[in-house]
A and B are shown apart, each in its own frame.
Chain A
Amino acid sequence: MEYSFVLTGNPNVGKTSLFNRLTRSFEHVGNWHGVTVDRVSKSAKFEGDDINIVDLPGFYSLTVHSFEEEISRDEILFGKYDALIYVCAADNLSRNLYLLLQLLELDVPVVVVVNMMDELYAVGKTIDAKKLGDALGVPVVLTSAKRGFDGGEIISAAVAESKKHRKRDLPYLRHLPIRSIYEKNKDGITKSKLKPLYASVKLLERDAFVESSVGSGHVAETRYVAETVRLRYEFIDSVTENIIIRDGKQSALNKASEALASFADKILLNKFLALPMFLLIMSGIFWITFGTIGSFFTDIIEKGINIAVESTESFLVKTNLPVWLIKLVCYGIIDGVGGVAAFLPQIVILFFFLAILEDSGYISRLAFMTDGLFEKIGLSGRAVFTMIMGFGCSATAVLTARGLDDEMMRNKTVVLTPFLPCSARLPVFTAVAGAFFGKMSVLAILGLYVLGAVVVVASAAIFESGKKLKSGEGSFVMEMPRYRIPTTERVLQILWSNAKTFLIKVGSIVLVLNVIIWILGNFSLTQGFIGAGSGDSILEQICTVISPIFAPLGFGNWRAVTALMSGLVAKEVVLSTVNSLGGVTAVFGDSLAAICFLVYTLLYVPCVATLGSIRKEAGTKWMIFGLCLQLGTAYVVTLAFRLTALAFSCGIGYGIAAVSFWAVAALLAALTKIIFEKRRCVRCDGCKHCG
């Protein structure tokens, strides 16, 4: 037999963890509200049956407020499934049951799964599943995706439930004028094909979606909105009374961890300590990734690669293979691509720490503490999630902005996040900085991270000061998760899946692109193989035309320009290109050129995949805006950086250039401000012309 079940429930109750368990998948999970932003489905076999499981973004009510919640509502209303699997968190039953009641009003088969039972057992409590199930008219399964999980129990309960039709009694509905609102809108409800009970209750709740589907009929009085909500919660209170029973003692370990959690909150939620703690934590992470453990492993692998290049070359020279092929294998492939693959340990370490941040519940606290600051620059504390994810991968981080309810704020977060250095930029930073700054390279890299953050904040502040890109009145209503420790299994899974993704990328895109670039850089159209740097190779011919544009930035040579252009496909390719076109020291004459190149690499377009994500989330206009913004900002900031640096080292001539640059920049900023200000009408508090 074939069955289809849909996982649904409030945010952060562990739907995706259950999904991963049931279907043996590795969908992204995290200890915060709003990790899943799209519908995901997969099939699995259970006792000979084909079971298709759908995972949805979490939400609080069928009356939705954001795009991701709409995805969930539409799947529940119009999707084809045999039963809903409603996931609750054991520690927050009453709020969790609120959405459940709305699903029961829909009159569809539902199985309730109370997840995270391990947390309740740890304090010596349990839930009377039978009593809860009888009161609600649904089967209740107690489980924990983390410990002692039994998927078969959930699936067999869902299969059994899908086969029988229950007549449920929801007593609180009797206090609402459902009959009368139904009669008054009968034609519209029939035409809309919505379920009559659901449509009637939602009409009383003044749900915009149902009102527009049913059409202009009889509109309910507003007092029923709060009344419906109140009746549901009163019913929940009566159902959950005495449902949690004490059947043991709180474990000593749990007592200790509770004390630790409240101590952590005293520091992390302290007005004065929160920001310094954040800087300390992030510097610690980067220090370990770049400075100590990460570079230790990377150095070993790099030494191995050097040996491999030398021994392969000396071996191949003895064969009769053409010289160009030997060079391609040794420098284009082993040195170029291997040089990127060497960064595997650092990438894995960075992702490991990001996952710990995500799973611990810390980012939610950070989001709360920074919301005030972010509000001032037209963003929201929630943007912190997107930005921290941006240290991993810009393209996937951009997708997490969906939970922001103001469209302008969401779009701005989407175009600004790529300014934060993703893990693909890490190998470029480390290799180039390492070659020029030696022991100081960690500081140089930290500086780049700080610069990325400063550019985000400054751009957001500039956007917010004008009228055109000002954010609307966003709201910030965000649940705070408990502190949690990821399981060993989950940690291993994070390490494995990120290592796999990175190696596949290096083995495919980076390899192919690098072979093409190496050939273009070493062959001439007329003379065949000539080697790099002779001035006649195909790439040199093309890039010499473009490179003068970058001359003011200090790296106007064809190798650097090729690296930047190929980096549009994937940032790792910047490094493999530099490696195979002669190595870091040959490409950049001096350390200033190198650091300018890094500043540019930090800020320009991260990769085509990110542009694709921006387009998906914010539309083509915003993608083009983002592209121009990133290219423009990269150029201007790098130029400013170089001129200022030259002023310090080379004296008066460059000093004048730097001062005049900053003067022009300030003038332009002032002009832009005046132009935007002019848009405001006289004697107007805000109309459609001036926002």
Chain B
Amino acid sequence: MVLSGAKLNSVYKIAEVKDGRLTRRLLDMGFTPRCKIKALGFAPFGGTVLVELRGFTVALRKSAAEYIVIEAD
């Protein structure tokens, strides 16, 4: 499952970050495999998602959230 399909407020674990244009940026921001992640909210029209990881909060557009493969924690 990718991050854009996450259920609100449940904790997941990052399985992998897919290869592509944004991979590097996401890795640098701390989206690394095995890191715990939680979806805090979705914006209307288009599904930009707000997530919490490593103790900080970050918003990702759907196209970026689809890079992040998650699994149940």
Contact = CB atoms under 8 A, between A and B. Distances in A.
B45 A98 contact: no
Contact of A95 (B21, B29, B41, B43): B29
A372 B33 CA distance: 27
A229 B54 contact: no
Contacts of B24: 61, 63, 65, 205, 225
Nearest to B24: A63
Contacts of B48: 368, 371-372, 375, 381, 476
A94 B24 CA distance: 18
B45 A373 contact: yes
Contacts of B64: 475-477
B61 A94 contact: no
Contacts of A226: 17, 23, 27, 32-33
A376 interface: yes
B29 A369 contact: no
Nearest to B46: A372
A205 B30 CA distance: 15
Q: Which of A65, A222, A367, A369 has the most CB of B within 10 A?
A: A369
Interface in A365-411: 367-373, 375-376, 380-381
A376 B56 contact: no
A476 B60 CA distance: 6
Interface string A209-241: 000000000000010011001100100000000
A92 B54 contact: yes
Given A370-B43, A371-B48, A473-B63, A60 B58 contact: no
Given A94-B30, A473-B21, A269 B50 contact: yes
A478 interface: yes
A480 interface: yes
A372 B57 contact: no
A91 interface: yes
B22 interface: yes
A271 B24 CA distance: 31
Contacts of A92: 54-56
A289 B63 CA distance: 40
A479 B48 CA distance: 13
Contacts, number: 118
B66 to A, nearest CB: 11
Interface in A463-479: 473-479
B28 A63 contact: yes
A651 B30 CA distance: 65
Given A94-B30, A225-B24, A368-B50, A479 B58 contact: yes
Interface string B27-55: 11110110100001111111110100011
Size category, B interface: 35 or more
A225 B26 CA distance: 12
A94 B50 contact: no
B28 A61 contact: yes
- Specify which of A65, A95, A474 lies most central, judged by the most chain B CB atoms within 10 Å of its CB: A95
B29 A375 contact: no
Contacts of A375: 45-46, 48, 61
Where chain B touches its partner, the secondary structure class is mixed
B61 A480 contact: no
A372 B50 contact: no
B55 A94 contact: yes
B40 to A, nearest CB: 8
Interface in A644-673: none
Contacts of B25: 60-61, 65, 475, 477
A122 to B, nearest CB: 16
A380 B19 CA distance: 23
B2 interface: no
A376 B46 contact: yes
Contacts of B46: 371-373, 375-376
A478 B59 contact: yes
Contacts of A373: 44-46
Contacts of A61: 24-25, 28
Given A368-B50, A476-B48, A95 B17 contact: no
B27 A477 contact: no
A229 B22 contact: no
Given A371-B61, A375-B61, A475-B64, A230 B33 contact: yes
B63 to A, nearest CB: 7
A65 B29 CA distance: 12
A685 B17 CA distance: 27
B59 to A, nearest CB: 4
A98 B55 CA distance: 14
Contacts of B29: 60, 95, 477
A243 B67 CA distance: 32
A593 to B, nearest CB: 40
Contact of A369 (B27, B44, B55, B58): B44
Nearest to B52: A480
Contacts of A364: 59
23 contacts: A91-B55, A94-B30, A94-B55, A222-B19, A225-B23, A230-B32, A233-B30, A233-B32, A368-B50, A371-B43, A372-B46, A373-B45, A375-B48, A475-B63, A475-B64, A476-B59, A476-B64, A477-B26, A477-B59, A479-B58, A480-B56, A480-B57, A480-B59
Interface of A: 60-61, 63, 65, 91-92, 94-95, 98, 205, 222, 225-226, 229-230, 233, 269, 271, 274, 364, 367-373, 375-376, 380-381, 473-480
Given A226-B32, A368-B59, 7 more contacts: A92-B54, A95-B29, A226-B33, A364-B59, A371-B43, A380-B61, A473-B21
For the complex of A and B, list the 6 residue pairs with the smallest distance between their C-beta atoms, beginning with the closest.
A372-B46, A372-B45, A476-B61, A61-B28, A480-B57, A371-B48
